[in-house]
Amino acid sequence: MSAELTSLDATQQAALVANKEVSPTELVTAAIDQAEKVNGTINAIIHPRFEKAKNEASSNLSGPFAGVPLVLKDLGASMAGEPHHMGTRFLKNENYVAPRDSYLTQRFKRAGFVIIGRTNTPEFGNTITTEPLSYGPSRNPWNTNHSTGGSSGGSAASVASHIVPVGHANDGGGSIRIPASECGLVGLKPSRGRVSKGPDLGESWMGSTIDGCVTRTVRDTAAVLDVICGYEPGDPYTAPPFARPLVHELGVDPGRLRIGILDHPLFTHQLDDAESRESIRRTADTLTSLGHDVHVAWPAALENPDSAGKFTAIVAAWTHTDVSYFESVFGRELGDGDLEPDNLLMRELGRRVTTHDYLANMQWLHAWCRSVVQWWEPIDGTQGFDILVTPTLAGPPPPIGRLAGPDGVRNLREILAYTSQFNLTGQPAISLPLHWSASGLPMGVQFVGAPFREDVLVRLASQLEEAMPWSSRVAPLVANS
């Protein structure tokens, strides 16, 4: 019975509870049983709260997801009195706990989700593999020698291994989409301002970070975003509300969309992966067969090599600010034993970013973003595009260790080719599990929509979920357990 329950998506689980066919306690117990079976292998949940979750499941729950088990990433979505270590050794060593719930956590709870634990993340979420020194690597349920992606790798592994149907995730350069790609999941990065970061933050990384989730179905992704999106008092900006709930876009004919295809890297330091090209060819063929207007085309501004360096300076400045904040909290300097080498370097780079540098980079990036977005919404009267299709990552999930250690940054630059640009522009983008490598590893395909058009992405994703179904594919860790 437990395996039958954990194989269901959140929509199905919620319906069983609503119809009184199962209880929230049964759902939560099934999730915990699966976690106890596989978490020792994948190292996804680092702060289990199993007994608390069982007690909460037996309380008077309400909301559209009453009783459905959920994991929260240990970065953002803070919970009052619960560990919040952000992948760092120093917060782990200090036994740091969050002082209050984030607005996002409050929304998850109001929707009826039962939180069974918090998941592994790289230090400060600053890379795209989940291998922190603080808690060790999370491992991919499709092949445990490979990365889960990052920075939401623990959440993605939890969903792919059927512990929970929904995992909280957030994305500053690809950290929802890349773990979704590597773990065979649906991962939608919402538009800038769609989900509040309050009350502790208004924005970070110049507005490039946003919260969302990873799931196994498009309908779960749409339904979860419906319950977590929206303005909270004091937010510095917010995305315009949807015309109707996103779940109402499921199965709606998207019409004949004008779609651009980008199947290759734009810079010589990026990997030109044959299997990534094949994933886009197959997707383009399907899109054409569905009646869409498909072209080999992309925004020319993406080929400007200066954007990456300027974004790095922005992230470095924020890293310095974050480290300085915790130094003030603990009354000491943080050094080699506290921070990993990459973040020590980022912190030092951030020290050297002056106010003038930050503002000049910000102004340059704002202008660059306008030139990128113009491809979707041209200002000169020419016809724009509805969707850009790219690989999510240049290649299949890399082996554990390839993106960590001395060569990690160089190797990261080879495969991180398609996602961070749309954190800067603030556009919605979704990774769908439409391709598997010759060795059986998931490889996501990314779809980037016009600003604030999650509705179009959900319609198209729903159409592709039917045309290129993935529901029958289950990670070997699940199938063999």
CB-based contact 206:359 (threshold 8 Å)? no
Catalytic-role residue among 151, 152, 437, 462: 151
Go through 40-69 and write b for each residue having 16 or more CB atoms within 10 A of its CB, e for each that does not: eebbbbbbbbbeebbebbeeebebbbbbbb
From CA 169, how far away is CA 152, in angstroms rounded? 5
Catalytic-role residue among 37, 73, 92, 310: 73
Catalytic-role residue among 155, 161, 175, 462: 175
3-state secondary structure the chain: CHHHHHCCCHHHHHHHHHCCCCCHHHHHHHHHHHHHHHHHHHCCEEEECHHHHHHHHCCCCCCCCCCCEEEEECCCCCCECCECCCCCHHHHHCCCEECCCCHHHHHHHHCCCEEEEEECCCHHHCCCCCCCCCCCCCCECCECCECCCCCCHHHHHHHHCCCCCEEEEEECCCCCHHHHHHHCCEEEECCCCCECCCCCCCCCCCCCCEEEEEECCHHHHHHHHHHHCECCCCCCCCCCCCCCCHHHHCCCCCCCCEEEECCCCCCCCCCCCHHHHHHHHHHHHHHHHCCCEEEECCCHHHHCCHHHHHHHHHHHHHHHHHHHHHHHHHCCCCCCCCCCHHHHHHHHHHHCCCHHHHHHHHHHHHHHHHHHHCCCCCCCCCCCCCEEEEECCCCCCCECCCCCCCCHHHHHHHHCCCCCHHHHHCCCEEEEEEEECCCCCEEEEEEEECCCCHHHHHHHHHHHHHHCCCCCCCCHHHHCC
Q: Is 151 a catalytic residue?
A: yes
Whether omega before 398 lies within 30 degrees of 0, making that bond cis, reads no
> Which CA distances in Å does 446 have to 54, 343, 436?
37, 28, 14
From CA 384, how far away is CA 259, in angstroms rounded? 9
Q: Is 175 a catalytic residue?
A: yes
Q: Is 109 a catalytic residue?
A: no
Query: Any idea which residues carry the catalytic annotation?
Result: 73, 151, 175
